[in-house]
Amino acid sequence: MRFKMTLALVACMASITTVASTLSADKTKPARLIAYSDCQPVLDVPLNELQLAAYDRLKAQQREFDKVALPLKKVDALIQSHDDEIADIRQAYANYEERENDNQRRIEAASQKLDRALAEMESELKLIDGQSDALQIAAMAFDKTIEPTLAGIDYDQVQILRENQTSRMYCDGVAENP
């Protein structure tokens, strides 16, 4: 389902956001690409103009996506509340089979409420889907520009840093400044 793919992309981009530092307003300062393997730097090179331009486009698309993705928190809470309600009803159903018809009606009613709520958010979800497509295109374009730089390098994390920015690594789920 496209909505689930969008949620997965949001999670992926949130991860990229925490790994790649936010660009400073001064575009004249050099930027560099740092690749890490097991939290140790294995490559530290400046970005060329093509890579930097693609990265700037990616970050601009990410900022736009962040703006339109705000309703996803509402959707997540909505789904969670209805998922919990449906799970509670199913548990009651398992314990009391004689209430089968009543429980089925309650499950259907909860599902219909969720469907109506999501339908009301259809335009917001379409906007998010469209922006996620633009973000994905920018990410793929940036990725293509750095592929030659990373060719033959064994790495598990990559950062893009502007001058005067501090590296922030995630090793075993913990943020570190190497």
139-149 residue pLDDT tens: 999 999 999 99
Question: Which secondary-structure segment (H or E) carries 45?
Answer: strand 40-46
**Helices and strands, counts by H and E, the chain:** 5, 5
Beta carbons within 8 Å of 95's beta carbon, 6+ residues apart = none
CB 20 within 8 A of CB 160: yes
If pLDDT is split at 50, 70 and 90, which confidence band does 99 have?
low
Residue with tokens 């009803």: 89
Statement: the pTM of the whole predicted model exceeds 0.75: no
Give yes or no for residue 24 having a pLDDT over 80: no
* CA–CA dist 120, 110 (Å, integer): 16
* CA–CA dist 50, 35 (Å, integer): 18
Residue with tokens 């090793």: 171
Please give the structure tokens belonging to residue 45. Answer: 């090179």
Alpha helices by DSSP H, 38-121: 49-68, 71-95, 100-120
Interval 147-162 mean pLDDT? 91
Give yes or no for residue 1 having a pLDDT over 60: no
* CA–CA dist 62, 68 (Å, integer): 10
